[in-house]
Amino acid sequence: MSELKKVRVAVVGASGYSGEELVRLLLGHPGVELVAVTSRQYAGRTVGQVFPRFGHWGRARELRFEEPDARRLAELADVVFLALPHGVAAEFARPLLESGRVVIDLSTDFRLRDAAVYEEFYGHAHPAPELLSQAVYGLPELYRERLRGARLVAAPGCYPTSILLPLVPLLRAGLIESDGIVVNSLSGVSGAGRKAELEYLFCECAESLRAYGVPKHRHLSEIEQELSLAAGRRVVIRFTPHLVPVRRGILTTVVARPTAGLGTAGEVFALTGRIEACYRAAYGDEPFVRVLDDKGLPDTKNVVGTNVCEIGWRLDPRTGHVVVVSAEDNLLKGASGQAVQCMNLVCGFAETTGLM
Ligand SMILES: NC(=O)C1=CN([C@@H]2O[C@H](COP(=O)(O)OP(=O)(O)OC[C@H]3O[C@@H](n4cnc5c(N)ncnc54)[C@H](OP(=O)(O)O)[C@@H]3O)[C@@H](O)[C@H]2O)C=CC1
Ligand SMILES: CC(=O)N[C@@H](CCC(=O)OP(=O)(O)O)C(=O)O
């Protein structure tokens, strides 16, 4: 990619929470020019008017939200980010891809390989099944090589990222059993999007905690798809998401059974070494995954505002389990930061550009 010619990028759904983060990251990205942002409710207003915190950027004072129009976006931009509700994203992806544009989709529309699984979890037929085979699952730590030069990127969900990063290396290495895995996740309220719905009003969720999506949250579809690929056999997990009264951040706790015994001090010592080596091999060189040493467990305050997923773990010889904890910012490593990381790979920029 030439130093002089910037990649022209657009964000569809730029007034939502993940769209806002994309705008912030792309305004500061040295390799791109943000040429268009869309919002139906704010069309005509500048980015600086809608998001006063961006007002110090000259570009934010001149760039105006516009009505979403796929044909116009295809004329203006080389790369288009879709930060739209699922279903709507596919409607934009199809014409943009037909016009030869790169699409980086943050919704669930292209994350599943099998349209029948989509139908099972989303309750309706897939809106563009013919495009599924060309989508690359946008988790760079797993699919880096396929992302280079991809035309359609399906950025993973926030819960899936927080679950796949800790679990995939252990499954691939055969260090844990693929059955009986239990996962609990806690999400900040921005995970639900910037919409006015009763259950997300301040008085409904402040100082209160609740589980939801039990027993079959829609993210199970992509989580089990990717865990099954890692294990080489069908994996079914028990997953319970919770809403917690913070603005952003996800904390996930995974409990799994090691394939090796934990009955003696020697076995504990041996498995400790194998898990350490496994994570070192998987993430030792990764810029956005931080595996903590045996004194630390993840804490969302250390990752909110960053594109980092933190992972920590403990063996529990008393019950014969391994407990792995991860923390990430749902709007960054769980959404927009990861999408920009993918764009960097697609466009040939250094992977950390605009994200450090
Ligand atoms: N929030 C999170 O933590 C994460 C979200 N995601 C996914 O990313 C996508 C965006 O999420 P999020 O930012 O939270 O959503 P928000 O609800 O905050 O924002 C949605 C955006 O889409 C626009 N929009 C909504 N409906 C339409 C439509 N029919 N046509 C055109 N534009 C529309 C809205 O603007 P306007 O109404 O003004 O047009 C708004 O800009 C979703 O698919 C979500 O599931 C993925 C990972 C994490
Ligand atoms: C707190 C909350 O409501 N979270 C959302 C997850 C949002 C998200 O990650 O969106 P995708 O489905 O596009 O991945 C939920 O549970 O549906």
Q: What is the ipTM of this complex?
A: 0.98
φ and ψ at 256, to 5 degrees?
-140, 160
Task: Please name the residue whose Cα sits nearest to atom 27 of ligand 1.
Answer: 84
Say whether both 176 and 321 belong to one domain.
yes
Task: Kindly give the distance from the C-alpha atom of residue 17 to the centroid of ligand 1, in angstroms, as a whole number.
Answer: 7
- The whole domain housing 219 covers 159-328
As given in the structure block, the two tokens for residue 54 are: 């961006």
Say whether both 64 and 148 belong to one domain.
yes
Q: Is residue 2 part of a domain?
A: no
Q: What is the CA radius of gyration of the chain?
A: 20
- Amino acid letter for position 171: L
Task: Kindly give the distance from the C-alpha atom of residue 86 to the centroid of ligand 1, in angstroms, as a whole number.
Answer: 8
pLDDT in tens, 56-106: 999 999 999 999 999 999 999 999 999 999 999 999 999 999 999 999 999
Our answer on whether the CB atom of 48 is closer than 6 Å to any ligand 1 atom is no
Instruction: Pick the atom of ligand 1 nearest to 188's CA.
Output: 3
Say whether both 270 and 123 belong to one domain.
no
At 4 the pLDDT is 65
Q: Is residue 11 part of a domain?
A: yes
Say whether both 42 and 166 belong to one domain.
no
Q: What is the DSSP string of 82-131?
A: E-S-TTHHHHHHHHHHHTT-EEEE-SSTTS-S-HHHHHHHHSS--S-GGG
Say whether both 284 and 194 belong to one domain.
yes
pLDDT exceeds cutoff 70 at 1:
no
Q: For the domain that residue 19 is a member of, what is the CATH number?
A: 3.40.50.720
* Number of domains comprising the chain: 2
Distance CA(78)–CA(21), nearest Å, equals 20
pTM of the full structure? 0.97
At 295 the pLDDT is 78
Q: Are 105 and 123 in contact (CB under 8 A)?
A: no
The total of other beta-carbon atoms located within 10 Å of residue 149's CB is 12
Say whether both 166 and 284 belong to one domain.
yes
The total of other beta-carbon atoms located within 10 Å of residue 205's CB is 18
Report the residue among 183, 208, 219 best suited for mutation to probe ligand 2: largest number of ligand atoms under 8 A from its CB: 219
Distance CA(134)–CA(103), nearest Å, equals 11
